[in-house]
Chains A and B, each alone.
Chain A
Amino acid sequence: MTIENIIFLLVAIIGFGLFAWQARKIRANILVGRDRDMSGNIGERLQKTLLVAFGQQKMFKRITPALLHLVVYVGFLVINIEVIEIVIDGVFGTHRFLQFLGPVYNVLMATNEILGALVIVAVIAFWWRRNVKKVRRFSGPEMRAWPRIDADMILYIEVVLMVALFVMNTSDLKWHRLQNLEMPGSFPVSSLLLGIFPSDLNLLHFLERAGWWAHIVGILIFLNYLPSSKHFHIIMAFPNVYYSRLVPQGQFSNVDSITHEVKAMMDPSYQVPAPPVGPDGSALAPTSFGAKDVEDLAWTNLLNAYSCTECGRCTASCPANITGKLLSPRKIIMDTRDRMEEKYNSPLIFQPNQYGDASKGTERVKIEADQNTLLRGKVTPEELWACTTCNACVESCPVNINPLESIIEMRRFLVLEESAAPHSLNVMFSNIENNGAPWAFSPSDRFNWADELYLAEKQAVTA
């Protein structure tokens, strides 16, 4: 083992170890959410994951970004095969270990190169859409300093990684060619670049090493950047889709504890199940109705927050947002993630996801200590009450995030725990309670439409 192999091994261990450490923190954050049984239906869930996550099904509602995204996504998957080779080469000091694959290796390398070039094109197009064309859904009050820097940063890192790949391949190819040596693999893009590379053998060897190190170290840095970034979706999209809801979108959950209460009210003989007990056998404090803070949401809602790539399709399709109201489903999801990291663990050492505090142009309202929760601390009732529950946000999310569930949970808290519904909704509630209809009509008038029907028909006959 050379010193280079040992250094590589150390770098790799630190890189992957640090990622595992960050991933554990995020897992712990997600698990502060309420328990929800998502087991079973494995076949259906796998099929959904295959279609929506692997197959990018929901991306194809918009063809231009879908094709660009597909290039980067497939590029990512295929180029990662080369990363396996790089790691093996790095540890064992081999060179192009996978070359034993023969013709398959040729195809693999050629595919890598073509995809690598396409990724650069796609990334430039993405950058242009974001910074020149300024596609509207990439802006909005919640897209403050960090989310915007983050989005561009990923694009720059991708370019650096691809350039490193081409530097490595081209210098390797030229080094072999100059000495009339056989170079394993087939390199359609690098062959075109040979001319712009120097002819000094030592320099070429140095460039090959530099490209190799830049690529693998870049990947390790990228890997550790992910947990602090919207780009974490490249990992979280898969579990998020797997654990997404299988029921019709219009079906909202029924709160079980309320079911027991209502049943007990209607039937005195109804046995309310014993309250849950803690591991030591003592009764647990009753949970609140609805959600005030992140731990009141289900863990799947928190998983949603870490899967969001801030693409804004939800907000762009939200009727409230379209008509200028404060609600932005993306903000609800981003707030949830930021609140988790503010209250519990932040990945890495810095806390970039708490975008609200120090970013430019926003004077943060000082929040009282007892109001420092997800609801009121980050999400205002005005946002929540603007929701028409139309499911447009749910429909439009490419990775099956459900902002509506979180919105309803927070509405439940406002109504059931704080009685803080807008006045007119309280009027509606009391109408239902008293008259059995949301409007102030007497139940005895419920059949009047039929009187008019017969009256009209009688008139038609006599006329």
Chain B
Amino acid sequence: MADLAARGEQPEILFWVGCAGAFDDRYKRVTRAFVRILEHVGIKYAVLGMEETCTGDPAKRAGNEFLFQMQAMQNITTLDGYQIKKIVTACPHCFNTIKNEYPALGGNYEVIHHSTFLQQLINEGKVGVAGGGEFKGRRITFHDSCYLGRANNIYEAPRDVLATLDADLVEMKRSRANGLCCGAGGAQMWKEAEPGNKEVNIERTEEALFTLDGNAPALAQTRGVEDGNAGATPSPRANAQGAIIAVSCPFCMTMMSDGVKNKERESDVQVFDLAELIASAEGLNA
């Protein structure tokens, strides 16, 4: 961004990478996939690079309001310094915080989550026209991120993005507004879970695997799902090329990937972010 500003130019969008997108090895791949999509469609974008700092989301959810506001004010100063108007991010936590909590502190921007942004690109015919490519017919289930779904009512955009892949999309029993958390929100990412019977991500992964395996009856026993009779039973189908759990959040990515590893299903189930799926379908894999 600094380079662009030095040239006296303004980007169309600022891509907010987020800490996970910048540091987490797995999510860096999502960052690069999204950047390739941006390059592919030829949109003028910028990133803050080293000037970006944590939005303060984990501090705020953990109760450290003071630290949150310090981070927020610092970021608002940076963003306003570059006269940023429009921000796109692949992290629902950054998205929620900048969109909903920064305005009261003086930071007003148009904030878009990458699922919505990708949906717009698809609607404009800029990506997704090639069809599913390698994903055609593969079984995919989408795991709703709490900070995208319940927190901000974005349920359809990620599903619309997946729909362009021409894949066999299946819904988990707990989806959309009833979706189950991956277990990492509210600063849980940085601490051990409290004692219980199970980790949240294992519960959720089991649910995803049941769904991908077409094992719906087993879901009737799922805790918290009452009156278990919704939906027809999908027939078990071979997933020759492997099934996919699609996510749109770095925390969900980590938690679901760990869950799949824990269940020793890495050989036939992969976890991908929406941006990676679209980049692959467009043949943008470097």
Q: Interface on A for B, CB 8 Å cutoff?
A: 61-64, 135-137, 247-252, 254-255, 258-259, 261-263, 265-266, 289-290, 316-320, 322-327, 382, 385-392, 394-396, 408, 410-416, 421-422, 424-425, 427-429, 432-433, 436-439, 441, 443-450, 452-453, 456-457, 460
Contacts and interface: CB of A to CB of B under 8 A. Distances in A.
B194 A385 contact: yes
B62 A386 contact: no
Interface string B5-34: 000000000000101011110001001100
A416 B66 CA distance: 8
Among A416, A427, A429, the one with the most B-chain Cβ atoms within 10 Å of its Cβ is A429
Nearest to A409: B63
Interface in B121-180: 146-147, 150-153, 177-178, 180
Given A327-B194, A428-B187, A421 B146 contact: no
Given A322-B203, A390-B181, 11 more contacts: A251-B101, A254-B105, A265-B70, A317-B178, A323-B199, A392-B150, A392-B180, A411-B62, A428-B62, A443-B50, A446-B17
B181 A436 contact: no
B61 A316 contact: no
A414 B186 CA distance: 15
B64 A416 contact: yes
Main secondary structure of the interface of A (DSSP, over half): helix
A416 B194 contact: no
Given A64-B227, A392-B146, A438-B54, A449 B21 contact: yes
Given A390-B150, A412-B65, A432 B54 contact: yes
B86 to A, nearest CB: 19
B62 A425 contact: yes
A362 to B, nearest CB: 19
A129 to B, nearest CB: 10
Contact of A449 (B17, B96, B99, B105): B17
A457 B227 CA distance: 52
B197 A428 contact: no
B150 A386 contact: no
Given A252-B101, A425-B62, A452 B194 contact: no
21 contacts: A135-B226, A254-B104, A262-B66, A262-B69, A316-B224, A317-B178, A322-B224, A323-B196, A389-B61, A408-B61, A415-B63, A421-B64, A428-B187, A432-B58, A433-B70, A439-B24, A448-B28, A452-B28, A453-B32, A453-B286, A457-B286
Contact of B65 (A64, A289, A444, A456): A289
A416 B70 CA distance: 14
A382 B70 CA distance: 27
Contacts of B180: 319, 322, 392
